[in-house]
Amino acid sequence: MVNNRGTAVVEFSISAVMVVMLILMILSVAYFYFAKVTISNSGYNALICIAERQPKSACQRRAKKTLEKHLPLGHLDQVQLKQSNSWFRVNINWTFFNDHKVHYSKSLRY
Amino acid sequence: MMTNEHGFSLVSFSIVLPLILFIVLSLLFSTSLLFRHRQNQHVCQKEVLQLQSQQSHHLRQLLSLNKKAQNLRRQRKIANKVLNKALQSGQPKAIIAAKALQWAIKSQQLILRNKQTTIITQAKKNMAQSLKRIKHNYSKNQVFTTVQNHPLSLPVIPQGITSESPTYHPRPNIEKWQIVALSWSWPLPKPWQRWVNYMNIKSKKLTGQCAGTLRKRNRQWREELAAYH
């Protein structure tokens, strides 16, 4: 008779690590996707906000507040709003674990 | 004793799978809600801008007649003076010529006034029609209601109203005066409502608001989005 207990422990730990890694990976992908949608939505709202001629600082503050509230993980690098006589523009940069970056840029011409 | 450890991964997956499914479904649901909200908001903004675009067109048309109206008023004053002088001189030919000149100018003024009135009436009619169209045309679940809309007439103040050809000037504070705000609601489809119940969210419809106004840009009145709270 062979003792299989040691093999079972090794198999269990390998499988457990793999399952945990898989869950973490799925959660990260989901969070990243959620972040992209949230950034695009906040960016669009900020763009409409300056197009409505609300104070630029207020629009910027609102977008920052929303992003920081909804995306506690990751770092918000920049929320920039620009306007000229014929266009409005928003730029948002967000970093997730240093190497995954989300850049959102949209302009509205009138 | 020998034990079978092959089922471990399967058991782990069966525990994890509902969690993964829940996350994916929640993400899809919230994303589609966000996109639907943005799409409806976009329709609202488009409609309100279209409506204001018509008004800005009428406003530009009306303001472009001001120069002619002023000129005619000036000419009328001169014609009145000429007629007075002719009447004082008592010469029938001069009186007839002066009266003819006065009538010619007066008729031009009346034609111009008629044009101005037509533009104002047309603007009023278009505004009413557009609002009616917006409210009735969106049977695709998106229901519109007007929140603020007091300017059913063009935002102008006449000057020289006693004259046959008054000039029209934009109202002070026109940006606030001209605001037309629409609010919309979009009831969630039935399968979504089930999900909403499951997520314990009370509201079963998406709602939003948008507003548009006229603003002077590059010396011309143009339609723009406005803030309305």
For residue B28, is it within any domain? no
> Which tens digit of pLDDT belongs to each residue from B164-195?
889 999 998 888 888 999 888 888 877 777 77
**A32: nearest CA partner in chain B:** B27
Q: Cα–Cα distance between B154 and B120 in angstroms, integer?
A: 6
Residue B152, in any domain of the structure = yes
In a domain, B97, yes or no: yes
Q: How many domains does chain B have?
A: 1
Q: Is residue B23 a part of any domain in this protein?
A: no
Return the bridge partners of A56, or none.
none
Chain B interface disruption, residue of A14, A19, A27, A45, most B CBs within 10 A: A19
Residue B140: inside a domain: yes
Q: Is residue B27 part of a domain?
A: no
**Which residues of chain A neighbour B12 with C-beta distances below 8 Å?**
15-16, 19
Separation of alpha carbons A70 and B79, rounded Å: 73
Task: Report the SS3 class of residue B91.
Answer: coil
Residue B212 has pLDDT above 80, yes or no: yes
**Model-level pTM greater than 0.90?**
no
In a domain, B10, yes or no: no
Predicted confidence band of residue B67 (pLDDT cuts 50, 70, 90)? very high
Q: Nearest Cα to B210, choosing from B81, B49, B54, B77?
A: B49
In this complex, the residue of A41, A51, A53 whose CB is nearest that of residue B38 is A41
Whether the pLDDT of residue B1 is over 50: the answer is: no
- Name the average pLDDT for chain A: 88
A 1-20 residues with CB < 8 A to B: 4, 7-8, 11-12, 15-16, 19
Query: Which among B3, B218, B225 is the nearest to A4, CB-wise?
Result: B3
Residue numbers of the domain that contains B73? 41-226
Cβ of A37 and B34 within 8 Å?
yes
ipTM exceeding 0.95, yes/no: no
Does B170 map to a domain?
yes
